[in-house]
Every structure is written in C-alpha cells, then in structure tokens.
A and B are shown apart, each in its own frame.
Chain A
Amino acid sequence: MGRLDSDLEDLYRRRQGAFQVMLASVTGNIESARDVAQEAFARALQKQDGFRGDGGLEAWVWRIAFRAAIGTTGSHELALAELPNVAFVDERLDLTLAAAVRELPPQRRMVIFLRYFADLSYAEIGEVLGIAEGTVAATLSKAHQQLGAELSVDEVMA
C-alpha cells in the first residue's frame, strides 16, 4: 500500500501491546483498547502519506491512536485539553497508586501514563502531545512530587 508498510508492521509487532495498555487508560478496558489500537494502525496504513517524517513514526501513530480513542479525526495538533480524563488503573492490584493517580491533574496523569504504561521517552511524549521535551520533564517532575507525597506512607502501609 505504501512506503511505510513494513515500518508500520514492525512497529505494530513490537509495540501493539503497549498501545493497548496505554489506550485502556482512555477507553476503560483492554478489549476496546485493542479495538482502537487495531483501528489506529489501520488508519496509519491508509494515511501514511500524511506522515511528514519530521518526527518519529511511533509518535505519529500514537497521535492517530488517541484521536481514534476519543473519536476525533483531522490533522490538527492533539491538544491536551482534548484528551479525556483518563483514570483507568486496576485498583484492586494497587489501591494506593490508583487513588494517587486519580488525584493528578489530567495533563500530569496523561504524561505519567505515557511514561509508564506506554514506556515512551520524554522526547516521544513531547512529540505525541505536541509539547516541548522540557515541558514533559517539568510535568513529570511535578507528578513525581505529587505522587511521592501521596505514596510515601502507603507504599509500606497500605
């Protein structure tokens, strides 16, 4: 279909699990997250001419995936404000962390999820969200501080 077919397939085979896990935080469950991930890669295959190559291929697919997850289309930058108030974590596995994560402001929560669920670098997170790498670092730092205050006791107590 296009020049990026093999790259997209390679990305899919390496990372589709990470896409599902991260997207579950948006959709609310892993089943629908898988559906969205499948849809995102399908759209990427279809629209690969829209990949300008000025950023990473994975970040580009992530942006498509988020748009698919929230039901929007278009080529405009994905604004943090557009992202849903993601809050999914399996509470029964770690009540304390789940509670602490829910207390984070949406932007910090999204960056935290991209960092730890999607395992993206600061630069990649910046590409996905359309913000500077320094902003990512600052946001993560604030999130760490907030989580540290919330978790410092319960890690051993809860």
Chain B
Amino acid sequence: MSTYDDNLLAARFAALAPEPLAGNWDDVLDRAGARNVGRPLGPFRADQGRRRRLFVVLAAVALVVVATASAFAVRAFVIDKGIVGLPPVGATPSTPENGVLEMDYTVSGRETRSRTWVYADGRLIRLGTPPRRGFLEQRLTREGVKLLRSEILSAGGFGHAQPPPGSTLLENFGPSYPGSPIQVRKGDRLVPLRWVRDLKHLEARLANPGSWLPASAWKQPKIRAYVPSRFAVCAGVVVLRDLDKPAQGRFVQMRPARIVALLPAAAQNALRGRDWTRGFPPPQAPTSSGYYPRYPSCFAVTTNEARSLAKALDAAGPATVRKGGRLRLHYAFDAPGPSRQVQIGFDPLLPHGELALGQFP
C-alpha cells in the first residue's frame, strides 16, 4: 500500500477547490454593526454577484446488476453496496441499446448528489451517491418526459443574456469552463440552462420527480438497477516514475496496435483486431492533472462481450486487477521497458454513447 504523496495530493485538491467569491470587508463591518444594534443579519449583498455552482455527480460508481435475482436482492445490492465492474451473468441490459438524450441534469445537496439522464424513450437513468449509489433506472411515459422538460424550461432562461436580479447563474466550473449542470434538448441539440429563478425549488423537483409528477407520468416508477448494454474498453501505456508510487505515472501517446503488442500473448489475442476509436463524446471538464485526451484508445463492446473479454484478460497472465473497487473494472499489466504498464479499463456507455464515468474520451 502506498502513501499518497503530499505535494501531489495538495495539487489535486487545489484543482478541486471552488473559486472563492469576492470578499467585502465593509459587509463584515455592516454585519457586526448590525448585530450591535439588534438588527437581524441579511444575506450578503447581491451586488457582489451571486454565483451558484451546482456540483456534479459522478461519485463512486457501480455498474449494476441482476436481472435474475429477486427484486429484494436487487434493491439491497444496489442501494446498500453499489458495485463496480461488470454486471453479473444473467443481468439483462437496458433496452433499447440506443437512446436520444432529452435532458441531463445534476443535482447536488448536502446529503445526496445525483446526475440524471432522461431519454426520449422515457428512460430516466440516475447515477447517485449513497444511499442510492450507482446506476438506477426508472421509466417515464411520453407525458412524463414532457412534464419534466417543461419544468426545466419554465424554471429560468437560456442564452448568455444577463440574468435578472435575484436569479441564479448556473455555472459548472466558473467562467473558465462555461457550462451548466442542467441541459435540455431544443431541436437537434442540448441547450444549457443558464439561470434559474428559484434554484432550490428546481433542485428539489429534479431530485425527486416522484414527489410531484402524476402517476400517469410513470411507466415504471419502481427504481431498478440500470444495466448498461455496452461498455467502452480503453487502454493506455503508463510510465511510472517510481514503482512504489504508482499514482505518479504519465500516459505515453501510443497507437493501439503498439499498446496491444506490449501485453501478454493471450491478452493480445483478446484485443487484436478491435475497432479502436476516439469517437466517444469527450468529457465536459479538464481533469485535475491535465487535459483530455490522456487515455485515447477505446473500443465498444456489448456487455456479454465485455464479460468474455474480462475472462480472457483474467487468464492472460499476471496483472493487477481491480475488481469491486469504486469506478470500473481495471487491469494493469507490466510491460517491457522501464517502469511501464499497460492499463485497461471497462467503462459503461450510456444509451446516447457517452462514457458514463466521463473520465476519459
């Protein structure tokens, strides 16, 4: 077990830190003075610019499970444990395989966080933090999708016009990385919601649509495990600066054929002839330690194919295999050359083709 390097950790936290808002000492003095005369404290002044960030989900994650298990078992497994890796044999992938994304929103509170994707076919797929951790699925009717869409459309405004006083400007990562945690389809593209009149109200509605959508809005109100029908298998070569500090490696730009050639023979056989591509939608933000792409070589497989491939890699030779971790099934094979590893990860693909864990293209 390695001890994480203090400086590296500091750098990663620095990248995670939200951008502080402008200070105002006069406001502090006002507040202190107001208390002395018994006047209640008000909110800080709006002229400082209110900026709200919705913080995003993508917690830990789990792929999910079990079509053949009992409903109770599925529920217990998903909610209480979460899972990572590949769904077990017998788990039935969600259908249809592809879907048109109608809405994509992230809701963050002190207790829970979730990211939700809503499709034209009614699927509502949510990736949440505990206690409802992992990928979950419900199904809306056509009316339900319309109602949810209307809720977002009527909550605020789009475009880059200055938001009205008192409204909340939605920014994911600050001015440097414009974006919104709430997107909704308008015509042939997803449009970010830029400002909201009552953010808490909207967040509450989106976090728990079951509390206000009518029964007719649900085709399947019961929460079930979402089982991806496809996975992206991604590979890269890493050079480790220090074998005792495997966290401090860097990726080497290398064509997929060369990456595969560094693997044990059995693994080469399993990966040879694949349709390696960079065609997956890119993630929406830079990482803490660099910019995408840093893990560029991936191909898509069905869930059954992913299981077969994982089985082949299991038998391919000594590798550090991370199963049952938080994020994804992951292999690290020692490669020829000083301190080099070939790393292979399995990442679930959502119905619209996005890598659900969003950490590499």
A interface residues, Cβ below 8 angstroms from B: 1, 9, 12-13, 16-18, 20-21, 24, 27-31, 33-35, 38-39, 41-43, 45-46, 84, 88-100, 102-103, 112, 116-117, 141, 144-145, 147-158
Contacts and interface: CB of A to CB of B under 8 A. Distances in A.
Contacts of A84: 110
A112 B357 CA distance: 25
Q: Which of B4, B19, B251 has the most CB of A within 10 A?
A: B4
Nearest to A116: B13
A90 B35 contact: no
Contacts of A12: 23, 25, 28
A72 B58 CA distance: 32
B3 interface: yes
Interface in B243-262: 245-251
B172 A97 contact: no
Nearest to B357: A95
A35 B27 CA distance: 10
Contact of A158 (B44, B55, B360): B360
10 contacts: A20-B20, A33-B18, A41-B28, A41-B32, A42-B29, A95-B59, A99-B60, A103-B326, A116-B10, A155-B289
A152 B241 CA distance: 12
B58 A42 contact: no
A93 B173 contact: yes
A91 B110 contact: no
Contact of B286 (A13, A93, A96, A103): A93
A92 B246 contact: no
A99 B322 CA distance: 15
Given A90-B56, A91-B55, A153-B320, A30 B249 contact: no
Contact of B327 (A18, A96, A117): A96
Chain A to chain B: the 4 pairs with minimum beta-carbon distance, closest first: A42-B31, A116-B13, A148-B4, A17-B20
Interface in B16-70: 16-21, 23-25, 27-29, 31-32, 35-36, 41, 43-44, 50-61
Q: Which of B8, B23, B36, B250 has the most CB of A within 10 A?
A: B23
Contacts of B190: none
Contacts of B43: 35
Given A13-B23, A34-B20, A102-B129, A94 B288 contact: yes
Contacts of B1: 145, 148-149
A22 B35 CA distance: 25
Interface in B274-291: 283-289
A31 B52 contact: yes
B6 interface: yes
Contact of B23 (A17, A45, A95, A147): A17
Contacts of B286: 93
A99 B173 contact: no
A154 B245 CA distance: 12
A103 B59 CA distance: 11
Contact of A157 (B2, B53, B330): B330
